[in-house]
A and B are shown apart, each in its own frame.
Chain A
Amino acid sequence: MERVRGPRAILAAIATPSQRSPNAALIQALGDAVLPVELGAGGVTRAVAEFQRWMDGYNPGAEANHGYGTGRIGQLPADPRPQWRSQLAALDADARRTGRPFSDLPRERRQALVRAALHNERGDALPNPLLARHVALALLAHFYDSPAATDLCYEAQIGRQQCRPLSAQRQEPVALVRNGR
């Protein structure tokens, strides 16, 4: 049998920060505004860091997983980061027009700016984060697609798509340990 590494460890290893990523302080301020307080400050910081790593590891135009029953070979979308960076800058510029940088605005004011930016987005689902038209939506979609978010929603340790003992699937998932993400 061959030794295998978990997906998160591998992603951490392949991802290196890049100049193309949005500004780290701004994205942290965005995360503080849009992610659940219930995550705790540490949880929000972790979720933002995972989003950053995910962005840095992206390979635009890579071959997409094949569709079923079709010969079409698809490519992953173009790099969304330049657009996301300018959207963050636009949020900051809007904030500065009211006298303070985005990072220094109270949470409710930051949320109000994000709400306005997402006003025209589709509401019945969160998109594939790579296809999110706004950086705030991308951050939300990335977090809510994570196994940790599912656990938080169900308040149970489900561990979706992670290597878990097969026999344990008979039992109801045990309750989530608070702030124990």
Chain B
Amino acid sequence: MTLLRRQARAEVIESDICIIGSGITAALVAEKLVEERPARIVVVEAGDDTVPLAERSAHRARFVAYGESPWGRDHIDGMTADGIQSRSMQVGGLAMHWGGVTPRFSPEDFRVKSLFGVGHDWPVAYEELDPFYHEAERRIGVAGEQGPPGLDPRGNPFPMPPIPLTYNLALLKRWTDSAGIAMWSQPSAKNSVAYGGRAVCCRNDTCAPVCPVGAKYSPDFTWNALRASRRVELVPRTLVRRLVVEDGSNRIARAEAVRRDRGGANGSPVHFRARTFVVAAGYAWSPHLLLLSRSDRFPQGIANRSGMVGKYMTGHRNVFAFVKLPLRLYPGMNEQHSLVTKQFMRPSKLDRYVRHDLRVWESSVGRRPRLKGDDGAVLLGDALLADWRRRSTEGTARVRAYYDVIPDRESALTLNESAKNAYGDPQPRLTFRDSPESAALRAHTEDSIKALFQRMARAGNGEILRSGVDDFQDHPAGGCRMGDDPASSVVDSYGRAHDHENLFVVGAPTSVSGGCANATLTFLAVALRQATAIGRE
């Protein structure tokens, strides 16, 4: 399918479209391009092939028993960011580990400047993304419940019925109803019925890090199908080190890479030539690659005339609590499934700006077995069991709210010249920072959410066992921000680099802000919209 020839030093692989990275975003973009374009597509992935489905049950057993990593060779020594970054460089990327929780952002997330006077609007509205959200839900298979249409607008129903509420969640929903909060079943990329040739969820309850039956979507399923159809060539174990711009134009000429599994410690060089290049390497490695591609002609890296590559890294923090409630709950029914609401996405214009989601899970916090009784004596035999039983007659709910953090321009990914990988390339350093307006709102936001938790506890005659703030930016994104103005963004809303007509960056890195919900479905909707322009230039 691809043309291979030997040059003096580097192997050359040619295609029409070269996609860098094989994470969930790349998988969906490749699948769409294959369906819609007669193009030769090559995908380059730095990591190794992943653990096949047939072996996951055994790996899960060892994870449950001992806490062993179920993913074997899922990372590359020396390739790591200083800052928030989970490790997963393998075919399928981070979504081999993910929990499969797939809410949409709210319409307001895309218009915070116009609606609330804070942050920045996205160059694309929710209404434009709605069909692409639906396409993403269909491609990965999302089981979901339609929330109240005013809060949860959608043009099409979910492709699968919702994951049913557990007995526990049904009781907890009655509690949140009594607190005046409308909640529903969290949309999830988990099969509530057989879908896409994959099994129905059977509540193994280890979705993150591993589903042993394939009921949770992971990108390897898409890659397996695309590779079997021979319509995509996926080249694993091959790290792209830089993109090179054609002499005399701004077009990207080639991606220079190294095959890690050939040529000894230095690897074997390989050049990918293509008409179009798509960087789908996730929020950290995408801006990193653009910065690494610096040259005499582009000393700040490529696509970076604006100086915006690596800037405006986004995410959201969360406030959480464990609430003791006078309810007989049974922890373990399906701990990874939750209730969700979007009721707090729309603050009144008169209020100080606070926006957040809210989720509720069953929990066993405060109800686990312990070694010593209240008197400090060691409990053995039936006494330990009796103590556990006594403390388990009531239930605990876990509640958590992701809140909107407005990123600062200097919330940034930079090259860390003091940490280099095996090939001598500096590694990324990530420093997340709130904008001054967001920093000024932080205490008020967190206090408001804690007050909401208190109100909820009171409504259920309950009590907060403990609460806190997870002080890191979850669902990180940004670094190649999209926008209409080339002076303040890296790519347009279709992911095309303002500076290079045949270079696209897709998904997470192009996000303008982090929203207030798990963000991967939004990365996918954005990327599928971006894919409509790829290969048409």
Contact = CB atoms under 8 A, between A and B. Distances in A.
Interface string B52-90: 111011101111111111110011000011101111100
A170 to B, nearest CB: 5
Contact of B371 (A7, A64, A70, A125): A125
B388 interface: yes
Contacts of B205: 160-161
Interface in B167-223: 167, 170, 192, 197-206, 209, 212-214
Contacts of B163: 166
Given A69-B84, A169-B334, A163 B202 contact: yes
Nearest to B99: A68
B330 A4 contact: no
Nearest to B369: A144
A84 to B, nearest CB: 15
Given A11-B61, A115-B380, A65 B213 contact: no
A63 interface: yes
Nearest to A9: B61
Given A69-B86, A119-B378, A125-B371, A59 B68 contact: yes
B58 A5 contact: yes
A173 B376 contact: no
Contacts, number: 208
Nearest to B97: A66
B314 interface: no
Nearest to B57: A4
B333 A169 contact: yes
Is the contact region of chain B dominated by helix, strand, or loop, or is it mixed? loop
A54 B66 CA distance: 9
A11 B65 contact: yes
B381 interface: yes
A36 B384 contact: yes
A57 B68 CA distance: 12
A161 B336 CA distance: 11
Nearest to B473: A69
Nearest to B368: A125
A66 to B, nearest CB: 5
A179 to B, nearest CB: 14
Contacts of A125: 368-371
A164 B67 contact: no
Nearest to A32: B381
A64 B68 contact: yes
Contact-residue size bin, chain A (C-beta under 8 Å from the other chain) = 35 or more
A166 B57 contact: no
B396 interface: no
A126 B170 contact: no
Given A10-B57, A64-B67, A126 B368 contact: yes
Contacts of A152: 385
A15 to B, nearest CB: 9
A57 B114 CA distance: 59
B472 interface: yes
Nearest to A171: B167
Interface string A1-44: 11111111011001000000000000000000111111000000
A137 interface: yes
Contacts of B472: 69
A43 to B, nearest CB: 12
B202 A124 contact: no
Cβ-closest 4 pairs across A and B:
A123-B372, A160-B332, A7-B61, A71-B80
Interface of A: 1-8, 10-11, 14, 33-38, 54, 57-59, 62-71, 73, 76, 107, 111, 114-115, 118-119, 121-126, 128, 130, 137, 140, 144, 147, 149-150, 152-156, 158-167, 169-173
Interface of B: 52-54, 56-58, 60-71, 74-75, 80-82, 84-88, 97, 163-167, 170, 192, 197-206, 209, 212-214, 330-334, 368-373, 376-378, 380-382, 384-385, 388-389, 392, 472, 474
12 contacts: A5-B57, A11-B61, A70-B85, A121-B371, A126-B369, A137-B371, A140-B380, A144-B384, A160-B332, A165-B202, A170-B164, A170-B165
Given A71-B80, A124-B370, A149-B369, 4 more contacts: A1-B197, A6-B57, A76-B67, A161-B332
